[in-house]
């Protein structure tokens, strides 16, 4: 500190204004300096701490690792770092909350450096910073990014996968099936006469139907490899590997009956008077240029054409003639 600095300030004012903890000890570990920050967070007044051995100055035990570190600094005159990661709360310091119900122990970062007193006696200076805030921020950012990640891939109405996730997953699933030469099935699902339902029962009821159908479809899946996504307004898509065409057809029927069993009344659905779905499914081992999704979509179109509340299943490598039968 320069002459000018000393003239202008009382050093104690500066120590006590700092927003970090300062403790100085002599070579026997007796407290020589205990700033306001330390007093506030330890609930031990400066007057009670001065001239005490450091481990006795606090009202609770100090961690052994801290005492070892302090001792090393006092003996070897080498500076020491105690990280938050490895020590968490070496000193009994608390986050002072004005309303204080439950005080929590403060996460700390500590450095201990050898210094000399004006009489040239070897001493140690302990600096404590509160790392709780950086840890809290870290945790918050982390959980926030997890929420964002979930939001980015989940449909907010139905809580199943969204279109974006489906597109990415579909691409990966196709690439996988191509490489390993295994079967992949794509199911396109559409709620029958949904526009009429919405017009008659209202949007809120409509949203409710979408939610229930999504739930019914999802409940049919049990393998980790399978996904169901909301593809568009009242359209859903499923990606399922390793099914033969016959098994895929059985599964499509399971989906159809699961929704039918919901027995949601729909008086504007002329033949059925309840909510039903149509399904197009395409199964095959994809090769270059094959488009399972388009094929499943045209199968869905066929199912609609043929009267709804049913599935149409086609293999990937059939010709257009098959569709025209």
Partner 1 sequence: MNHISELHLDALTEIFSIGAGRAALSLSEIVGDEVRISVPSVQIINTEDINPASLSLTCDGRFGAVSQRFSGPFTAEAVLLFTEEQALKIVSDMMDSKMSYEELAEFEHEAMCELGNIILNACLSSMADILKFTLESSLPCYTVASADKILKRLKKNPNQPYIMILHIDLAIEKRHTAGNLVFLLSTDSLSNLVIHIKQFLGNIHE
Q: Which residues, numbered 287-316, are part of the site for partner 1 (CB under 8 A)?
A: none
Does position 149 bind partner 1 by CB under 8 A? no
* Cβ-based nearer residue to partner 1, 54 or 69: 69
Select from 1-9, 10-18, 111-119, 268-276 the region that touches partner 1 (CB under 8 A). Answer: 111-119
Binding of partner 1 by 64 (CB under 8 A): yes
Q: Applying CB under 8 A, what is the total number of residues that bind partner 1?
A: 24
Active-site positions read 234
Min CB(66)–partner 1 separation in Å: 10
Asked if residue 233 binds partner 1 (CB under 8 A), the reply is no
What is the distance between the alpha carbons of residues 308 and 33, in angstroms, rounded to a whole number?
84
> Minimum CB separation from partner 1 for residue 109, in Å?
6
Q: Is there a contact between 276 and 184 (Cβ–Cβ < 8 Å)?
A: no
Site string for partner 1, 67-86 (x = CB under 8 A): -xx--x--xxxxxxxxxxxx
By residue count, the chain amounts to 325
The SS3 of residue 107 is coil
* 65 scored as a contact of partner 1 (CB under 8 A): yes
**Facing residues of 116 across strands?**
122
Q: Determine which residue in the list 16, 43, 95, 113 makes contact with partner 1, applying CB under 8 A.
A: 113
Contact partners, residue 147, CB within 8 Å, separation at least 6: none
- Report, in Å, the least distance between residue 30 CB and partner 1: 22
Q: How far is the CB of 146 from partner 1 (least distance, A)?
A: 12
CA 81 to chain CA centroid, Å, is: 32
Closest CA to 85 of 109, 66, 113, 112: 109
Cβ-based nearer residue to partner 1, 61 or 81: 81
Out of 45, 53, 142, 223, which residue is the one contacting partner 1 (CB under 8 A)? 142
Task: Return d(Cα 192, Cα 269) in angstroms, integer.
Answer: 8
- Could you tell me the smallest distance in angstroms from the CB atom of residue 70 to partner 1? 12
- Provide the minimum distance between the beta carbon of 3 and partner 1 in the complex, in angstroms, as a whole number: 26
Backbone phi and psi for residue 93, each to the nearest 5 degrees, phi listed first: -115, 145
Residue 202 CA, chain-centre distance (Å), reads: 35
Give the E-state strand segments of the chain in sequence order: 21-26, 31-34, 80-82, 108-116, 122-130, 184-191, 227-230, 235-241, 277-284, 311-315
Chosen residue from 92, 114, 241, 315 binding partner 1 by CB under 8 A: 114
Q: Confirm if 22 and 37 have CB atoms less than 8 A apart.
A: yes
Q: For the window 196-225, what string marks contact with partner 1 as x by the rule CB under 8 A?
A: ------------------------------
Among 21, 25, 31, 87, binds partner 1 (CB under 8 A): 87
Site membership for partner 1, residue 148 (CB under 8 A)? no
Stretch that binds partner 1, among 43-51, 64-72, 168-176, 183-191 (CB under 8 A): 64-72
Q: How far apart are CA 315 and CA 325, in angstroms?
A: 14
What whole-number distance in Å separates Cα of residue 293 and Cα of residue 185? 9
d(CA 216, CA 204): 19
Question: Minimum CB separation from partner 1 for residue 135, in Å?
Answer: 9
In this structure, what token pair is assigned to residue 294? 């388009």
Residues that bind partner 1 in the complex, under the rule CB under 8 A: 64-65, 68-69, 72, 75-87, 109, 111, 113-114, 138, 142
């Amino acid at each position: 500190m320069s002459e000018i600095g000393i003239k202008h300030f009382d050093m104690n004012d500066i120590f006590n204004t700092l927003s970090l903890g300062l403790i100085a000890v002599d070579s026997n570990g007796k407290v020589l300096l205990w700033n306001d920050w330390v007093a506030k967070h330890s609930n031990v007044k400066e007057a009670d701490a001065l001239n005490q051995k450091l481990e006795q100055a606090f009202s609770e035990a100090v961690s052994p690792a801290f005492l070892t570190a302090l001792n090393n600094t006092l003996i070897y005159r080498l500076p020491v770092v105690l990280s938050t990661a490895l020590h968490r709360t070496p000193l009994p310091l608390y986050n002072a909350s004005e309303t204080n119900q439950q005080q929590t122990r403060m996460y700390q970062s500590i450095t201990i450096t050898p210094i000399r007193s004006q009489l040239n006696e070897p001493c140690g200076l302990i600096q404590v910073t509160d790392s709780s805030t950086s840890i809290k921020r870290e945790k918050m950012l982390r959980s926030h990014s997890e929420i964002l990640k979930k939001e980015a891939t989940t449909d907010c109405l139905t809580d199943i996968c969204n279109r974006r996730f489906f597109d990415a997953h579909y691409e990966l699933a196709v690439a996988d099936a191509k490489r390993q030469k295994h079967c992949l099935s794509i199911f396109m699902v559409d709620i029958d006469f949904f526009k009429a339902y919405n017009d008659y029962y209202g949007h809120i009821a409509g949203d409710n139907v979408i939610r229930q159908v999504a739930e019914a479809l999802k409940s049919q899946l049990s393998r980790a490899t399978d996904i169901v996504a909301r593809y568009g307004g009242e359209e859903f898509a499923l990606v399922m590997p390793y099914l033969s065409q016959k098994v895929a057809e059985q599964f499509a029927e399971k989906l159809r009956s699961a929704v039918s069993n919901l027995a949601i009344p729909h008086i504007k659905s002329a033949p059925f008077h309840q909510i039903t779905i149509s399904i197009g499914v395409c199964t095959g081992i994809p090769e270059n240029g094959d488009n399972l999704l388009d094929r499943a979509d045209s199968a869905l179109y066929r199912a609609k054409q043929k009267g709804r509340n049913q599935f149409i299943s086609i293999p990937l490598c059939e010709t257009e003639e098959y569709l025209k039968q």
